[in-house]
């Protein structure tokens, strides 16, 4: 090796200007390489991106695109855009890419607010889509309701709203549910993530099927208005999971409100008139799913 520094560039060879032109000079002069204009432009763009390569290059470009197009994204002129990017860049066989980003404000996630920036095969940002929340004024970050108190409010809400409730499946059949028994329940804190603006806190499972993790989020209530709230997922034993959001800024005279409650999964049972083994056996009405039984029933 002659010690010459060598670099590698990824080039779309389908582009007509992607090829380099080489000229062979006398042996004493060595090999002279003339770089095509396309490759020169590509190298210049990458040198201007603070040396970022690979997925980091697209993440930074996505952040820059959203910040430079904040008005188009629905943000206020006075608002400093904050986004937490997904470090994994989605790549397609065509060479197109996409970067997903979650919106934040003062280091705290905005509930269900996210954006996606799309890149063309030539690595340029070509557009964005998503749901962005505009913030018109500086918002108070004072937390008046503790994570433990919010967990009790959410648990009490589920206990009242799910006990004896009867829902309907897609066929109109009733699905009875059983609420959670809060007798003697007291949240026991396991850990708090240090130096976390979202104050992520983990509690013992208690009366629930899994340990409960709470964290602060901004809950949009009206245009330009958001409240700090505690977000958590509560898993009921042998039943569904609920995504809950409880107000974290309720005044002392008022009980914290449940701002959002939604089941995260659904289930159903079915009955079918089937041949248990094969077409030579009589049909039987059986229930599905057939837990612990052979699944070789034929319709």
Residue at 160 is within a domain:
yes
User: Where among 131, 165, 185 does a domain terminate?
Assistant: 131
Nearest-angstrom CA–CA distance, 166 and 180: 15
**Quick one: 9 and 79 in the same domain?**
no
Mean predicted confidence (pLDDT) in 104-125: 91
Where residue 132 falls among pLDDT bands split at 50, 70, 90? confident
**Quick one: 197 and 246 in the same domain?**
yes
Look at residue 261 in the predicted model and tell me its pLDDT: 92
**Domain, as residue range, for 37:** 1-48
Look at residue 24 in the predicted model and tell me its pLDDT: 39
> The whole model's pTM is what?
0.65
Please choose, from the candidates 210, 209, 199, 204, the residue with its C-alpha nearest in 3D space to the C-alpha of residue 189. Answer: 204
Q: Are 65 and 125 in contact (CB under 8 A)?
A: yes
DSSP state, residue 223: T
Written as six digits, the tokens of 131 are: 């749901």
DSSP state, residue 275: B
Written as six digits, the tokens of 288 are: 């599905």
**Quick one: 153 and 256 in the same domain?**
yes
**Count of domains observed in the chain:** 4
Please choose, from the candidates 297, 249, 253, the residue with its C-alpha nearest in 3D space to the C-alpha of residue 272. Answer: 297
Is the pLDDT reported for residue 25 higher than 50? no
Is the pLDDT reported for residue 116 higher than 60? yes
Look at residue 109 in the predicted model and tell me its pLDDT: 94
User: Where among 131, 163, 186 does a domain terminate?
Assistant: 131
Nearest-angstrom CA–CA distance, 244 and 230: 8
- The set of residues, in sequence order, having a beta carbon less than 8 Å from that of 175 and lying 6+ positions away, is 166, 167, 168, 169, 268
- Residue corresponding to tokens 């986004």: 83
């Amino acid at each position: 090796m002659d010690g010459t520094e060598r670099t590698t560039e990824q080039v779309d060879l389908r582009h007509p200007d992607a090829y380099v032109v080489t000229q062979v000079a006398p042996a004493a002069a060595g090999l002279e390489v003339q770089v095509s204009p396309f490759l020169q432009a590509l190298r210049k763009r990458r040198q201007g991106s603070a040396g970022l390569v690979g997925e980091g290059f697209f993440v930074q470009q996505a952040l820059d695109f959203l910040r430079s197009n904040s008005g188009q994204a629905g943000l206020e002129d006075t608002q400093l855009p904050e986004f937490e990017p997904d470090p994994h860049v989605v790549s397609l066989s065509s060479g197109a890419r996409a970067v997903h980003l979650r919106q934040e404000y003062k280091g705290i996630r905005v509930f269900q607010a996210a954006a996606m920036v799309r890149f063309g095969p030539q690595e340029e940002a070509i557009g964005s889509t998503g749901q962005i929340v505009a913030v018109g004024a500086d918002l108070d970050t004072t937390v008046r309701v503790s994570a433990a108190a919010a967990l009790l409010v959410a648990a009490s809400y589920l206990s009242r709203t799910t006990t004896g409730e009867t829902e309907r499946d897609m066929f109109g059949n009733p699905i009875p549910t059983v609420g959670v028994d809060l007798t003697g329940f007291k949240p026991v804190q396991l850990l708090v993530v240090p130096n976390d603006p979202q104050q992520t806190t983990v509690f013992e499972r208690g009366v629930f099927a899994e340990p409960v993790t709470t964290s602060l989020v901004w809950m949009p209530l009206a245009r330009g208005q958001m409240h700090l709230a505690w977000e958590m997922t509560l898993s009921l034993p042998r039943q569904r999971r609920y995504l809950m959001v409880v107000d974290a800024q309720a005044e002392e005279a008022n009980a914290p409100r449940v701002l959002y409650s939604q089941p995260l999964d659904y289930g159903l049972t079915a009955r079918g008139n089937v041949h248990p083994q094969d077409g030579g056996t009589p049909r039987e009405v059986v229930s599905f799913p057939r837990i612990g039984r052979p699944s070789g029933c034929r319709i």
